[in-house]
Amino acid sequence: MKSTNDLSTLHRILIILCGLTLVGVIFLPIWRIELDAAQYPEGLELQIYSHKLAGQVEIINGLNHYIGMKTLHKEDFMEFTVLPYLIGSFALAFIAVGIANSRKLMNYLFIAFLLFGVVAMVDFYIWEYNYGHNLDPSAPIKVPGMAYQPPLIGYKQLLNFGAFSVPDVGGWIFVASGAILAFCVFREWKKSKTLKLN
Residue 37, phi then psi, degrees to nearest 5: -155, 160
Per-residue pLDDT tens digits for 158-179:
878 888 999 999 999 999 999 9
* Closest among 36, 169, 24, 177 to 112, alpha carbons compared: 177
According to the model, what pLDDT value does residue 47 have? 96
- Residues 182 and 14 sit within 8 Å (Cβ to Cβ): no
Backbone angles phi, psi at 101, to 5 degrees: 60, 50
In a domain, 3, yes or no: no
Could you give the C-alpha distances from 96 to 23, 102, 106, 146, in angstroms and in order?
Answer: 14, 10, 10, 49
Residue 58 contacts residue 123 (beta carbons within 8 Å): no
Is residue 47 helix, strand or coil? Answer: strand
pLDDT band at 1 (very low <50, low <70, confident <90, very high): very low
Number of separate domains in the chain: 1
Range of the domain at 89: 9-197
What number of other Cβ atoms are within 10 A of residue 148's Cβ? 20
Whether 144 is in a domain gets the answer yes
Res 166: pLDDT: 95
pTM score, whole prediction: 0.87
Least Cα distance to 46 among 58, 66, 37 occurs for 58
95 falls within a domain? yes
Q: Report yes or no on 4 lying in a domain.
A: no
Mean pLDDT of the 51-80 span: 88
Instruction: Enumerate the β-bridge partners of residue 54.
Output: 47
196 vs 102, higher pLDDT: 102
Dist. CA 87–CA 20, nearest whole Å: 11
9-25 vs 169-197: helix crossing angle, rounded to 10: 160
Q: What whole-number distance in Å separates Cα of residue 87 and Cα of residue 52? A: 14
Is the pLDDT at 180 greater than 70? The verdict is yes
Q: Is residue 163 part of a domain?
A: yes
Residue at 2 is within a domain: no
pLDDT at 42 over 80: yes
Helix (H), strand (E) at residue 72: none
